[in-house]
Structure 1
Amino acid sequence: MDTYSFLRELADSWVLLILTLIFLGVIGWAFRPGSHPIHEDAAAVPFRHDRPEEARADE
C-alpha cells in the first residue's frame, strides 16, 4: 500500500471520527450548565465602554 492510499484511508476513517468527537466535545463544553455567565460577559464586551443614557441626554 502506498503512502497516499494509507493516509487517505486513515483520514476517511479514524481522523474523521476523532474530529467529530472533538467537535462534539467543544459543543458540549460551550453549552455546559455553568457557562452561561461567561457567555453573557463575552456578549457584553462591545458595550462595556458605552456611556449611560443620562450622559447622552446632557449633550
Structure 2
Amino acid sequence: MNETYTAVAGFAQTWGLLYFMALFAIVLAYALWPRNGKKFDEAAQIPFRED
C-alpha cells in the first residue's frame, strides 16, 4: 500500500509541476500576445469610466 502511495505521489508531483508550468506559459503568452493588447487596455480603463 505504501509503495502505491509513493508512486502516485511522485507521479502527481512531477507531472503536476509540468502541467502547471505549461499552463502558466500558455496564460503568459496569451496575456502578452500583441493582438490582445487593445482588449486588455480597454478592460483596464473600466474602473475609470463615469457612466
Instruction: Report the residue type matching 2:15 in the other structure.
Output: W
Cα offsets for 1:19-50 (capped at 9, x unmatched): 10000100000000101111111110001117
Answer 1 or 2: higher relative contact order, Cα 8 Å, separation at least 6.
2
TM superposition score normalised by structure 2: 0.80
Structure of higher CA gyration radius: 1
Q: Report the aligned-residue RMSD.
A: 1.4
Q: 1 or 2, which has the higher helix percentage?
A: 2
| Sequence identity percentage | 31
Number of residue-to-residue matches in the alignment? 49
Any gaps of 5 or more consecutive residues in structure 1? 51-59
Instruction: Report the residue type matching 1:24 in the other structure.
Output: A
TM superposition score normalised by structure 1: 0.71
Any gaps of 5 or more consecutive residues in structure 2? none
CA distance in 2, matches of 1:7, 1:15: 11
